[in-house]
Amino acid sequence: MLATNSSSGLGLVGHPLLSAAVLDSDSRELCRLFEARGVPFLFYTGCARINDEFDTAPVIRKPAHPAEVVHGVERLLTQHD
């Protein structure tokens, strides 16, 4: 599934097949909804700083090799089980 911005991401939060998320921004609303549903997420971002409320979420800094992002999602899924 792909959301191109926080607004379209809100429409995916409740999707029954959603197991983890990769976010480019720290949309508070989106992060809170993922947390409420128990969906782990990481940030893949070029932002220098992430909102302190979500500073425990993993951060992969852009640019990164795609394998690094995949490995980050794998870690989310295995830690979440």
16 DSSP β-pair partners: none
Cross-sheet strand order for the sheet of 59-61 = 21-23, 41-45, 59-61
Dmax (CA) of the chain: 32
pLDDT in tens, 10-53: 889 989 999 999 998 767 889 899 999 999 999 998 887 777 78
pLDDT value of residue 41: 93
Beta bridge partners of 23: 43
> Per-residue pLDDT for 81 more than 70?
no
pLDDT for 44 equals: 92
C-alpha distances out from residue 75 to 4, 29, 43, 48, 70, Å: 23, 24, 13, 23, 9
- Residue 55, pLDDT > 70, answer yes
* Stated pTM of the model: 0.86
- Domain spans in the chain, listed from the N-terminal domain onward: 19-80
- pLDDT value at position 39? 93
